[in-house]
Structure 1
C-alpha cells in the first residue's frame, strides 16, 4: 500500500510537471505579438509626501516610505492607504527614512527592514522591525548595522535596501562628500587641511569606511547580521570593512537584485562637470552591474573607466592620470588600504549631452536609477502581467529626465538592446519601482520638485489583454449664442484601442430633464446641427465598437445668450513691465444683448443703459507669476503640469471654469475652499463629475464626464482640491484703471498675467455668461531655457544659474528663438554667459535664423562652466515686434562653446543711463 501511494504521488507530480510544461508552452504560444498600446497606467494613490522606496508583499499590498519617517501601505483590495508607523529621523542634508525592504518570509514573520537617519546619531541605522496587527512595533527594533556619516556639509546618502535570492540584504550608501566648490564638478579629491568633507577618497575610495558602497549582510532570525562569503574583503583580514560588497560608488541611490542570477544593479548619480578639462572627463551617470564583489572606481574613474587626474587643489597643479588597473589612494584622509582593487567599467553610462555610446538615453539632467529585472512567467494566471517581449529585461529609469528604459538582456546578462518604455508618457520623476506578484509594474513618482509635491503618486502599469472599450472625445464649435444656433459637433480624438471601426450617436437632453427621452441629433462622426429653441442643453456623444463596448463624452450647449467678448486696448500682449511700474489698462466689452462699452466713461458694467449703481461685473485679475511666460501664452498641455491639470486641459473643464474667476461654473478656488478637508467630499465630487449634477452652484448643470475613468477624475478633482489662494492675485474693477507695482513686486515677478472678465446680464431664463481675455506681460530678463524654440542647446541644471537652469552643450550654429519681442522698447541686449570651452560669438538675427544681424556679442573664455558674467550690446532702433534669433558662432572651434543663463532686453536709455551714472 505504501509503495503504491508513493508511486501514485510520483505519477501525479510527474504528470503535473508535464502538464505544467505543456501549459507554459501553450500559454506562451497563445500570446499575440507585443502591442505597446496595451500598456496602461493607473493611479493607485495620491497625496504622497516625498516617497522614497516601495516593497510589495505576496498578497499584493504595497508598502512605501516617505523621507520624513512614515511607513505606509496601499491595499489593492480596498484601494485604501494606511499609515503603518513612523520612525523618528532627521531630514537635514537630505537625510531621513531612505531605505525599505520586506523579509523574504514576510508573509510568515512580518519583518520589515528600514534604513534611516536617527536625529541623535550622525549616521544611518539599518534595522529590522516587526508588524504587529498591521502596525509597526517600534519596540521590536533589532539594529543590524549602523555606520557613521558627516552632516556638516552636503550630501549623497543614497539609501536603498534590497534582498537577493540567497537571503542576503544589500544596502546602498552614498559617498557623503560635498561635490561643489573647488572640485568644479570633477573628482572631489581635496586633501587640504579642513577640507575632509570635500574628499571622496576618505569615503568611496576608503576600504575602512562604509560610505560610497553597496554593503551586503545576512540577517539572522535573532535580529543580528552575519557576513556572507564573497564580499570584497574577508572578515578579520584588516583590509576593509567586511560588509563591503562593492566600493567606489558616488551615490548608488537605487539598487536592485536580479532574482534569478543574483546580479546586483544600481544607478550611480554622477558629478556635474559639463565638459572635458585637464582635470579629466565630464560628468556621467552610471548604471552598474556587479556579478561579484568589486571596485567601481569613484572618485578616480567614471563611465568606462575614464580616469581623472590627481590635482593639488592648494596649488592648482594637475598631476598624472589615475590608473584603473592599479588605483592608489594616497589621500591624507584615507584610513584604509593604499592599494585598491582594479576598477570595473560601468555597464551603462551617459553625460548630460547626447551619448554616442548609448544614444537611446537622450540628454538633459541626470539621476540614474536601476532595476528591477523582469522574467515572463507563462504559468502566472494574471491577465495584466507583462508579456514575453520583456522577458529577461532590466528596467532603468531617470528621476531627472522622467523616462523609463527597457534594457533587454542576453542569456549571459549582456545588453542586447535598449528600448524606450512608454516614450509618450511623462513619468513625473520616477523614484522606485518593482514588479508585483501579478506581473504588473508598480511605480512611485516623486513629483515635480525636490520638496513636497501635489503630483506625487503610486501608479500601476498593466499589460491589458482582450477587447478594450473605445475612447470618446467630444468637442463643439460655437456652442453658445442666440437662436437659431448652428453648432459644429466633433468626435475628433475618439478612437478604439484595438483598431476596430466605431459607430457614433449624438443626442441632446435639455438641462434638468436627462431622464426624459433624448433627441437623437445625428449618427455622423462630425455633424453640424442647428438649435432652434433657447435653453441649456447637455449634448452626449456615444461611440460603440463591434463587440458592443461603449464610451460616452458630453459637451454643453447654451442657446439664447451670446457670450460677451473682452478686448485689451492696452497694454498689448508681450509688452514689458519695468520698475517702478505703473500699467494703464483699457478694456472694451462687446455683447449682443448688453451692448458695447465705452472705456472712456469707465462704465462699471459695460453697458450705457445699465444702472451704474449695480454690482460691478467687469474685473481685471492680476497674477504675478514666477519663471517665464508660458510658451505661446496658451492653455496648452504641458508635460510638467500635474497629471490632473493635464487631463483637465484635454477635457472640457476650462470651457466652463477658471481657476480664480467665474465663467459658466464656479472658480476652482471656490470649489477647493468649500470642500477641502471635509470628510467624504472628494468621493462626492468625483461622483458629481462622473455622473453630473444640478443646482449646487447655479442654474447651469455640471455635465456628466463618463468619458473619463474614475482614476482620471480622481486626479482632476485632487488637483482642484490642491489649489490655494494666491496672495499674488489682485483684482481691479472697471474698464479703465492703473496697476501700480512696487519695486519689490517687479523684482520677484517672472511675468504678469492679466485676465479680464465680464459677466453679462443673461437673457431671461438663460444664465449669465462670462467673457474672458488673457494677456501676459514679460519681464525684460528672460531665462534662456524659456526660449520659444531651442535649436541644439540642452537645458541643464546649475546652482549658480538664475532660474536654476541654463542652456548648455552649445555648439557652432546652435540657436534659441524668442517670439515677438517689442523691439521699439529695446535699446540693448545683455547676455549672461560663461565658458570653460571655446567661447565664441552670439549673433542676434531679426525674424529668421539668417535674418539681418542687429547685434553681435563676444563671449570670452573665463575658465568656468558656472561663473556667469554679463555681456551687453547696443542695437539700432527698431520698429514694432519681431522674432529674435540668438545664434551661437565659432567656426574655428565648433564644440563646447559656452553656457547661456539669461537674455535681458534693456530699455532704450539703458546705455545712456549707465554712462551718465558712471560720470
Structure 2
C-alpha cells in the first residue's frame, strides 16, 4: 500500500467503520411528555413560490427565502404574502442561479445576510455578505467572501447551500460540476480522455486543489474578510489542497445542516443513476452524510458504505481494479492536486432506487436526499407549539423525490439508533428546505410537483399543538339532487376528534333557501351520525352538520341539496378513454344524453320508455369542448398512492367544492375559471373570497347561495382560493354542437407532446324556480407515441430521469417486471415500436393480452448495446389481434437476471 502523508494517517483507523454496523434497534428513551403524532398541525404561510431554493428563519420568525432567478423574499409574521426585498443578477443556465442563503448568527444586531449565487459575468459562484437596510437588501453593501470557478461547457451539479456552525463558521456546499451521463453508464464519471474533462469528477470532487465537490468552511470577520478555522482538511498554507476545504469527495451536496450543539455537519448527497451492480462497480445510491470531523467522503471512487468503483479506461473500455478506500489515488490528467487522498469515509445512511437491505425504512423509488436540522428541545422555551422532547437531538432528513420526512434518532456517539417516519400520512410535495424556528416549530418549503415553476409550491409551518382541539367535521350525501320526494342519505363518516378521550355529538340542520336565495332559519332534523332525510317540497337547501366535543368545541360542514330537478346524464359512445388519434385524420364522436325532465337523445330508448326525444335543433344546451393539452394523460399508475397536486386542489377534492363547481363548466355554482377571471389581480379579493367561503354568501353568482364552510380553517380556505385564482385557460378550446360530429386535428399543434381532451357538457332546462343543472363527461385521447412512464401500471421497474424523450424513462428493469396499458383498441393498432437501450443483461419484451401471463402475441429481442442512454428501435407485428384488451409488456431474461434494459417509449402503429 502506498505510504500515506503524515497528515492523513490519523484518518485511516478513525473513519473506516462501516455505516451498516452503526445501526441498532434501540428506540429513543421515553420522554416526560408522551409523543402524540395527531398533535402535529400544518399552517400554510405562503403559496405560489417561484423555484424556491433555501430559507432561513429570523429571530422574530420572519422567513427569508430565495428563488433561483435571483430574488430574495421575506414573509413577516402574520402576513400571507411574501415581500420582495432584494434581487441579485444571476445566470440560471445549467441549474445555476441564487442557490444558497444564511443569516448571520448576530442577525438581530447586524442585519447581515449571506448569499451564494451565480453571476452571469463570472464562470462560477460568489459567496457574499450583504446588509439589510430598512428591511431591504442593500446591493452596495456586498462583501465578497469567496469565489470559485466552474466549467460551464456541460451541465451541472452546482449544489448550493449555506449554514453556520456554532462557532461562527460558515459552511458552503459546492457540487462536483460534472456531467452525470456521457459514457459512465450511471457509474463513476472518471472519463480521462482528451476534451472529456466535464465528464471527469476527478477534476473536482477528488481534486484537492478544486473547490468543487466539497463542503467548504470559512469564518467571516466583521470587516468583510474571512479567516480559515483550525481543523480543516488541509494545512492553511495550501501546500496539499485548498485550505477552505472541510470535506471532499461529494457529488451534489445540495442541502446541508450543522448541529447547533455538537457542530456536526450533515448533508444529503444526490447519487448516480446505475440501476444495478455491474463490472464497473456498485449501483447508484443517495447518501445522508455526517462529518464529526474533516474527511474524504469518497466520490467518484466510492459510494454508500465505501462500495468501490473500478478504474475504467474510457478509451478502450477496459475495466481495471477497484479503488482502495484506505488509499485512493487520483491519477487523472485533470487533477491539479495531490495524488494520494485521505481515506474514504462511509455514508451515515445510503439507499438505492430499489429496496434498501440496510435501511428499509427509507423505501424505494426516485432519489434526491436532503439532510435537515437537528432538533434540540428546550424545557425553558415558552412555546405552546415547540416540538416535543421525544425528538430531542434527532436528525430530520427528507426526500425531494419520494415526498417524505424521516426522523433519525442518534445515540450519544452520534450513531444511528432508529429511523421513523414523520407525519407519514402527509404527502409533502417535494420538500426542498426545512429549519426550526425560534419557537421550536418546523418551517418547510415544498417545491411543488415538477422541476420548474409550480403553482403548488408553498411555505408551511408545522406546529405541535397542545391543549383541547376542535373536532373535524366531514359531511357527505348520496342522492342530494333530484325530484321530490327526495330521500337524501347523510353521512358524517370521516368526522373525528384528535383528542381521543372526547365523545362527539352530531346535529344536522336544514336551512331552506327562498326563491331569491335568501337563507332562512335552520331546522334541526336529526342528531344521528348518519341519518336519511326526505325532502318533500322543491327548493334549494343547505344541510349543515355540527360536530361538538365534550368541552364544547365545535366544527361544522355543509352540503347542498337541490330538490325538484334531476341531474342529467351525458356520456361518450365513441371514442373511448385512452383511444389513439391520428394527426392526419379528424376525430369522430358520438354522444348520449338522458334527462328525466327533458328526455333522451336515443330514439329507441325514447320509444321503449315513452320519453320525449331531445331535439338537437331546439336550443338544447349541448356542446363538445375539444382542446390539445401539453402534458401526459392522468393515468391509474398512481392508484393507491398518496394523491399529488396543488394543496388547494387536493383540499377542495376532500371537501364538498366539486359537488357544486367544475373548473370550466357551470354546475350548481359558477365555473371556477370564471371566478378566477373575475377576481384575479384585484386588491383585497382573496381575503373577501375567503370570508365568503367560510361564512357563505347569497346573490353573488345567482339564486343558489354559497353554503358556509366553517369546517375549514382560514389557512385551508386560503389554499383553496389561491388555487382557484391561479386558474387560466389551458389553451385554445374549440366548441362543437350536436350529438355527432368530427373534431379536426391540428397537425402543427399535435407535433408537440400532449393529448386531446374532449369534454361533453349538457345543461338542462331547469324546473320552475329550480335552476338548471349541468352534466359532463370527459375523455382523453392519446398520441400514438406513448412515453413508457405513462403506463397505467409500472410493476417492479422504476421511473428514472435522464436523456430520454420527456426527460424520463423506465429503468432498473429486472426479470418479469412489466408495464400495463389499459383498454387498447387493437382494431386500430397492428404494430408496436420500442425505443430501448441496454448496458446490462439485455433480454426480451413480450407482449401479452389482459394479464402478465395472458396470451403472448409478439416478442421483441433487446440486445446489449453497451449504453444506458443510446436509444435504438425494435418493432414487432401483432398479427390478427382485435377488440379491446389490456396490454402487458413483460420484460424477461433467459437467465432471470436483473438490470436488463431501459425503455423510453412505445409507438402504437395503425
Same fold (TM over 0.5): yes
Given the superposition, is the C-alpha separation of residues 574 and 446 from structure 1 closer, same or farther in structure 2, using an over 3 Å criterion?
closer
**Structure 2, unaligned stretches of length 5 or more?**
1-28, 605-610
| CA offsets 1:891-918 (integer angstroms, 9 cap, x no match) | 52332222233334332xxxxxxxxxxx
2:229 matched residue in structure 1: 228
User: How do 1:440-459 residues align onto structure 2 when only pairs under 5 Å count?
Assistant: 440-459=441-460
Among 525, 533, 538, the alignment partner of 1:521 is 525
2:512 corresponds to: 510
What does the per-residue CA deviation read over 1:82-135, in whole Å, with 9 as the maximum and x for residues that have no partner?
A: 222222222222111111111111111111111111222222111111112212
Alpha-carbon displacement from aligned partner over 1:38-62 (angstroms, at most 9, x marks no partner): 2222211112111111111222111
Rounded Cα–Cα distance in structure 1 between residues aligned with 2:101 and 2:657: 40
Q: Which residue of 1 aligns with 2:693?
A: 689
Quote how far apart the aligned CAs of 1:599 are. Answer: 8.2
In the TM superposition, residue 220 of structure 1 has moved relative to its aligned partner by 1.0
**What are the ranges of 5 or more consecutive residues in structure 1 without an aligned counterpart?**
1-27, 601-605, 908-919
- The question of 1:501 aligning with 2:503 is answered yes
Matches of 1:886 and 1:303 in 2, distance apart? 33
Q: In the TM superposition, what is the alpha-carbon distance from 1:757 to its structure 2 partner?
A: 0.8
> Partner of 2:861 in structure 1?
858
Asked if the contact 2:518/2:698 (under 8 Å) is kept, the reply is no
- Of structures 1 and 2, the one scoring higher in RCO (CA 8 A, sep 6+) is 2
SS for the counterpart of 1:824 is coil
The answer to whether residue 475 in structure 2 is matched with residue 474 in structure 1 is: yes
- How far apart in 2 are the matches of 1:563 and 1:87? 56
Deviation at 1:744, TM superposition (A): 3.4
CA distance in 2, matches of 1:413, 1:377: 20
**Residue 490 of structure 1: aligned partner:** 491
Runs of at least 4 residues of structure 1 off by over 4 A?
A: 28-32, 512-515, 606-614, 632-638
Given that 1:581 and 1:746 are in contact with CA atoms closer than 8 Å, whether structure 2 keeps it comes out as no
TM-aligned CA deviation for residue 685 of structure 1: 1.3
2:658 corresponds in structure 1 to: 654
Deviation at 1:632?
Answer: 5.1
Look up the SS of the partner of 1:748 in the other structure.
Answer: coil
Identify if the C-alpha distance between structure 1 residues 412 and 53 changes in structure 2 by more than 3 Å, giving closer, same or farther. Answer: same
Matched, 1:875 2:878: yes
DSSP 3-state at the match of 1:252: coil
Alignment correspondent of 1:623: 627
Question: What whole-Å deviation, never above 9, does each CA across 1:287-336 have from its counterpart, x for those lacking one?
Answer: 11111111112122211222222222223232222222112222222221
The residue that corresponds to 1:406 in the other structure is 407
Q: Give, in angstroms, the shift of residue 225 of structure 1.
A: 0.2
Q: Check the 8 A contact 2:31/2:390 in 1, yes or no.
A: no
Provide Cα deviations, 1:828-867, integer angstroms capped at 9, x if missing partner: 3333332222222333333233333233333322222223
Counterpart secondary structure, 2:827: helix
1:250 and 1:637, CA in 2 relative to 1: closer, same or farther beyond 3 A? Answer: closer
Match of 1:20 in 2: none
Is 1:807 aligned to 2:810, yes or no?
yes
Give 2:730's aligned residue.
726
Asked if residue 905 in structure 1 is aligned to residue 905 in structure 2, the reply is no
Query: Contact 1:599 / 1:736 at 8 angstroms: preserved in 2?
Result: no
8 A contact 1:834–1:898 mirrored in 2: yes
Q: Which residue of 1 aligns with 2:755?
A: 751
Question: Deviation per CA, 1:523-561, whole angstroms, max 9, x where unpaired?
Answer: 111111111111111111111112111111111111111
Task: Tell me: CA distance 1:609–1:584, structure 2 relative to 1, closer, same or farther (3 Å).
Answer: closer
Q: Say if 2:301 and 2:308, in contact at 8 Å, map to a contact too.
A: yes
Residue 561 of structure 2 corresponds to 557
Q: Is the 8 A contact 2:366 2:798 kept in 1?
A: no
Distance 1:266 1:686 in 2: 40
| Count, aligned residues | 874
Q: Distance in 1 between matches of 2:87 and 2:779?
A: 48
* Deviation digits for residues 230-274 of structure 1 (CA, Å, limit 9, x no counterpart): 011121252111111111111111111111111111111112222
The alpha-carbon distance between structure 1 residues 197 and 430, as it changes in their structure 2 partners (threshold 3 A), is same
- C-alpha distance in structure 1 between counterparts of 2:136 and 2:85, whole Å: 5
User: Deviation at 1:576?
Assistant: 2.5
RMSD between superposed Cα atoms in Å: 2.4
Deviation at 1:713, TM superposition (A): 1.1
Residue 72 of structure 2 corresponds to residue 71 of structure 1: yes
Matched residues in 2 for 1:629 and 1:209: separation? 45
Q: Distance in 2 between matches of 1:281 and 1:634?
A: 30
Q: State the match for 1:19 in structure 2.
A: none
> For the Cα contact (< 8 Å) 2:637–2:793, is it kept in 1?
no
Show CA shifts across 1:173-222 (max 9, x none): 11122222222322222222222222222221111121111111111111
Shift of 1:612: 4.5
**Residue range with higher mean Cα deviation, 141-150 or 866-875:** 866-875
Correspondence for 2:165: 164
1:627 Cα deviation from its structure 2 partner? 4.2
Query: How far 1:586 moved relative to its partner?
Result: 2.0
> TM-score by structure 1 length?
0.91
The SS at the match of 1:107 is: helix
Candidates 516, 528, 540, aligned match of 2:544: 540
Change (3 A) 1:229 1:637: closer
* 1:826 alignment counterpart: 829
For 1:912, the equivalent position in structure 2 comes to: none
SS class of match (1:825): coil
| CA distance in 1: counterparts of 2:614 and 2:272, whole angstroms | 69
Deviation at residue 479 of structure 1 after TM alignment: 1.2
Q: In the aligned structure 1, how far is the partner of 2:904 from the partner of 2:615?
A: 52
Distance across 1 between alignment mates of 2:637 and 2:370: 35
Residue 241 of structure 2 aligns with which residue? Answer: 240
Distance 1:335 1:380 in 2: 51
2:841 aligned to which of 838, 854, 878: 838
Query: Please, which moves more after superposition, 553-562 or 888-897?
Result: 888-897
Q: Does 1:371 align with 2:375?
A: no
TM-score by length of 2: 0.92
